[in-house]
Amino acid sequence: MKTSRRGKFNVLIRNQSSGKRNLIHQGLSNDANDFHRKETMKYASIVAILICSLAVSVAAAESPIKSGDRIAIVGNTFADQLRIHGYLESALLQHAHGVSIRNLGWGGDMLAARDRPTNFPSEESTLGAHRTDVIIACFGMGESFGGKESLGKFEQDLEAFISSHAGKSYNGESEVRLVIVSPIACEDLGGLTPNRDARNEDLLAYTQAANKVAANAKVPFVNLFETSRYLMDEPVGPNLTTNGIHLNGFGYWAISHGFADQLLASDQSTSREPWRLSIDAQAKRGQGYGIEISKLTIHASEVAFEGTETLAPRLPPPTDQPLPPPLAFQRDTLVVQNLATGTYKLMVDGEKVATATADDWRHGVPIDSSPAHHEAEKFREAVNDKNLQFTYSWKALNQVHIVGERRTSPSGRALPSEVIQFNELANQRDEAIQSGVELKTRQWRLTRIEN
């Protein structure tokens, strides 16, 4: 069971969540037009402010990531594992169209300790081959184990890292841009993390040091420490990590929301909000955000409409457990008021999405098991497959074929050409995912199945 250390903030966000939930349910009874922009979206703004205001703002006037950017991610285990979960990259592809990402993260990397096997290609050559516009650098977790007495060295190493890329043009046209990312917090896992409070004191100090160096260098800074700490301290929801500092699948899903928000421009924030659909069965009217509702028909035991997707769906959380309020609101949701008593089943294009009581529909039911969400999951799988092909081309899984006794074997001699082929596969996969998830018009039907 999680315990909350959040104090006043924890009370505040739950009060905001409860109050806003009532606003959502009452929105259509006031004014359907105002509901769309003023009611539904207000809570999304509240959640974003509550979470993101705790983190130091991205230190840049412009969005760190722009459409068409070619991005390289470097850093520690946190960075490395981003490539096998795909939540951040999928979000960026949906909202910064045409980006191309290569993940060069390496488990255990630190700024001054980035050992590579013999004959491993230089990072500069890899950045040049990708024609990199932006480097997202994730460091500080490993360094934080040196304690506060090593903060000075960490700052010097980060300054040296930034200086090493100053003036470099890996894309052949413009100077590379950097984004510095803080470490995440340490989660309270009881006996597995006996020194959690002390660890977070150190991690906070390293986050503040990284922010200071980034600000001095006029480099954008993303603070994931505060965002992760407050999510970790929520008493509701699954754990975010396996051992306190390494995120699990749910953790990457949870953190990627705030991460993407800080990487993309604030004026694009509305395009990153979840679907919000609300229908009043008595008034026979509906309003949608992310989906345009048309051809709405309402009978005694059925609500049907045509839904045209205008925004990509949110990826569903990889858990069946209840979510903390800030994350629960990240789910695509349908609210249906004034249904007759009974249980209702939602079908989209003939596929079952959700079954709930009239009271549940009045409060709002997550709809992230729809055909659109299944397609979004397939898109994330395609992102992960692209990353796998690149990993095969960049990081050989068995060094014995490069410098060991098998380098003269048939498999060793074939490795150079295989590396080229894997890179070609990665480039092909990259092109295939550039357009993001296809937006479609689908048939929605909510039918009473029980009186």
Q: Summarize the confidence of residues 289-303 as an average pLDDT.
A: 95
Q: Summarize the confidence of residues 268-274 as an average pLDDT.
A: 67
Question: Which pLDDT score is estimated for 368?
Answer: 95
Residue 332 buriedness (CB in 10 A; 0-12 / 13-18 / 19+): buried
Choice among 50-64, 129-143, 182-196, 375-389 with the minimum mean pLDDT: 50-64
Question: Which pLDDT score is estimated for 245?
Answer: 97
Amino acid at 391: T
Question: Which pLDDT score is estimated for 405?
Answer: 61
Alpha-carbon distance 369 to 279, whole Å? 19
Categorize the per-residue pLDDT at 41 as very low, low, confident or very high, splitting at 50, 70 and 90: very low
Question: Which pLDDT score is estimated for 124?
Answer: 96
Q: Summarize the confidence of residues 52-77 as an average pLDDT.
A: 74
Q: Is the pLDDT of residue 14 over 70?
A: no
Residue 134: alpha-carbon gap to chain centroid: 18
- Could you read off the pLDDT of 326-340 as tens digits, one per residue? 899 889 999 999 999
Choice between 48 and 320, residue whose per-residue pLDDT is larger: 320
Q: Which helix (H) or strand (E) holds 158?
A: helix 151-165
Percent of the chain topping pLDDT 90: 72
Question: Which pLDDT score is estimated for 401?
Answer: 60
Other Cβ atoms within 10 Å of 237 Cβ, number: 21
CB 137 within 8 A of CB 181: yes
Alpha-carbon distance 229 to 6, whole Å? 9
Question: Which pLDDT score is estimated for 56?
Answer: 41
- Tokens linked to 189: 């896992």
- Separation of first and last alpha carbons in the chain: 38
SS3 content of the chain, % helix, strand, coil (to 5): 45, 20, 35
Instruction: Please name the residue that has the structure tokens 């018009």.
Output: 441
Categorize the per-residue pLDDT at 400 as very low, low, confident or very high, splitting at 50, 70 and 90: low
DSSP letters along 200-256, please? Answer: HHHHHHHHHHHHHHHHHTT--EE-HHHHHHHHHT-SSS--SBSSSSSB-HHHHHHHH
Indicate the CATH number for domain 48-271: 3.40.50.1110
Question: Which pLDDT score is estimated for 406?
Answer: 61
Q: Summarize the confidence of residues 405-417 as an average pLDDT.
A: 67
Residue 180: alpha-carbon gap to chain centroid: 17
Q: Is the pLDDT of residue 411 over 60?
A: yes
Question: Which pLDDT score is estimated for 63?
Answer: 83
Q: Summarize the confidence of residues 405-415 as an average pLDDT.
A: 66
Categorize the per-residue pLDDT at 317 as very low, low, confident or very high, splitting at 50, 70 and 90: very high
Choice between 66 and 41, residue whose per-residue pLDDT is larger: 66
Choice between 230 and 170, residue whose per-residue pLDDT is larger: 170
Categorize the per-residue pLDDT at 271 as very low, low, confident or very high, splitting at 50, 70 and 90: low
Choice between 404 and 371, residue whose per-residue pLDDT is larger: 371
